[in-house]
Chains A and B, each alone.
Chain A
């Protein structure tokens, strides 16, 4: 059974600080996604990582993928309050040419304090 584990599960950090969220998964895959969820809301796509060594950056967030280590990271630079949300990674285990089958991690609840 595929396991997708995130750590930490909860992160409280001050504005201006840097931190990294880790996503480990237990099966071979080269397609990994990061989503953001605000309280009571749906999921918003942040990053799509489709190969080993892929790195994507948007604003204060940067995501990377190491398929050999089965590890993805979401790095937060100089956090601001607006980044407070729950962040999910998801791994696609579907065969090429078929419908996506995303397995989501447990989520990391990020709270940025002033």
Chain B
């Protein structure tokens, strides 16, 4: 079966510090990968998605970047954090191939980032 892991689970960082959140998927190949952010008490916002190694699509201009160095690894980064970067970051995957393709996303456990 497929599993998705995110780390760290919780992070407290000062303004201006760098960020690296990692996500890996096991039990599947060639997944589509996604980063979402959930601000406190809010809905989810799609930040980035990737359909393959090195292929990143950005949905919202911001202080963050994403990379996919390996097929099942997705990384969210920032060079200098802002207060507004605080939130709950969720990595998700969906099957790229296969029938039927439902478009359903499967989420990791999330990384809670507090920027002080």
B83 within 8 A of A: no
> Measured between C-beta atoms, what is the minimum distance from B72 to chain A in Å?
15
Interface of A with B (CB < 8 Å)?
Answer: 31, 33, 35, 40-45, 48, 50, 88, 90, 92, 94, 98-107
Contact partner of A42 among B42, B94, B96, B109, CB < 8 A? B109
Interface of B with A (CB < 8 Å)?
Answer: 32, 34, 36, 42-46, 49-51, 57, 59, 90, 94, 96, 100, 102-110, 112
Instruction: Please name all residues of chain B whose beta carbon is closer than 8 Å to the beta carbon of A106 when the two chains form the complex.
Output: 42-43
Contact partner of B110 among A42, A92, A100, CB < 8 A? A42
- Is there contact, CB below 8 Å, between B109 and A88? no
Report Cα–Cα, A104/B90, bound state, in Å.
13
Instruction: Please name all residues of chain A whose beta carbon is closer than 8 Å to the beta carbon of B50 when the two chains form the complex.
Output: 99
- Is there contact, CB below 8 Å, between B105 and A102? yes
- Is there contact, CB below 8 Å, between A100 and B32? yes
Report Cα–Cα, A42/B108, bound state, in Å.
7
- Is there contact, CB below 8 Å, between B106 and A45? yes
- Is there contact, CB below 8 Å, between B43 and A107? yes
Instruction: Please name all residues of chain B whose beta carbon is closer than 8 Å to the beta carbon of A33 when the two chains form the complex.
Output: 103-105
> Measured between C-beta atoms, what is the minimum distance from B83 to chain A in Å?
21
> Measured between C-beta atoms, what is the minimum distance from A45 to chain B in Å?
6
Report Cα–Cα, A41/B51, bound state, in Å.
26
Residue among A41, A100, A101, A106 with the most chain B CB within 10 A?
Answer: A100
Instruction: Please name all residues of chain A whose beta carbon is closer than 8 Å to the beta carbon of B45 when the two chains form the complex.
Output: 104
Q: List 9 A-B pairs, minimum CB-CB distance, nearest first.
A: A100-B103, A99-B32, A104-B44, A43-B107, A104-B43, A92-B103, A42-B107, A42-B110, A106-B43
Report Cα–Cα, A45/B94, bound state, in Å.
12
User: Beyond A42-B109, A99-B32, is A94–B43 a contact (Cβ under 8 Å)?
Assistant: no
